[in-house]
Amino acid sequence: MNVLIIHAHPEAKSFNTALMQLATEQLTAAGHQVQVSDLYEMNWNPVASANDFAQRKNPEYLVYALEQRYNYEQQAIAPDIAAELEKLKAADLVIFNFPLYWFSVPAILKGWIDRVLISGVCYGGMRFYDQGGLKGKKALVTLTLGGREHMFGEKAIHGELVDGMLRPLLRGTLAYVGFEVLPPFIGYHVPYIKPEAREQILVDYKNYLANLDNLTPLRYPKMDEFDGKLYPK
């Protein structure tokens, strides 16, 4: 496989970075080609703006998604976006590696999503979910957080994690653009646990990566389950 890791943590010695490094080493050793976009190291610009376009289809009024599509076709989109798009198009598996911030992704990663998952390539028209522009690719979310595992669930203090807190990312972003979304790997309570507990998370992640082919993707809508107006059949 061609694997792309989108890494979003500001500290090079963090546990989150250790997870990224483990994935890079293990997948490379298994014969896969691995690229890493380390967003903080790249000083990635997270701000979607008119500056992303060398040309404008409508210079009077910015509709960002329409300008994405037009500028991609004209090869006039910002060079940093174009470079990430080439990595994305080549990838069979994309791993999003980050710490959970405020029930969501770090701003720098949200900015990568906003600027790179462009209209006309990743989605558009009726091209979403299993007909999205990135269909045939898999996505894996690997995240760390401060809470304990029992804090997440139907009746837990923070509510559901996969079907609640992570829904905008897993369903509204990754599944929407066509990825097969693998069950996320989660490192719980990381800032507060002892070194031996962190080592166990690394062991668990190593085993998880070794069994990627056996994971069942999460279930999301399929377009043939809906009619032309998107009512359920």
For 190, half-sphere exposure in the C-beta direction (CA atoms, 13 angstrom radius) is: 19
pLDDT of residue 159: 82
What is the distance between the alpha carbons of residues 54 and 8, in angstroms, rounded to a whole number? 27
| Secondary structure of residue 62 in the 3-state scheme | coil
Segment 141-166, tens digit of pLDDT = 999 999 898 988 988 998 888 888 89
Within 10 angstroms of residue 119's Cβ, the number of other Cβ atoms is: 19
pLDDT digits (tens, 9 = 90+) for 59-98: 999 999 999 999 999 999 999 999 999 999 999 999 999 9
The predicted-structure confidence for 19-71, as pLDDT tens digits, reads as follows 999 999 999 999 999 999 999 999 999 999 999 999 999 999 999 999 999 99
Would the pTM of this model clear 0.85, i.e. be above it?
yes
Long-range contacts of 23-26 (CB under 8 A, 24+ apart): 23/95, 23/97, 23/142, 23/205, 23/209, 26/206, 26/209, 26/210
Distance of CA 212 to the CA centre of its chain: 16
pLDDT of residue 154: 87
Tokens for 74, please give them. Answer: 């004209």
Query: What angle do helix axes 79-90 and 107-116 make, rounded to 10 degrees?
Result: 80
Asked whether the predicted pLDDT for residue 132 surpasses 90, the reply is yes
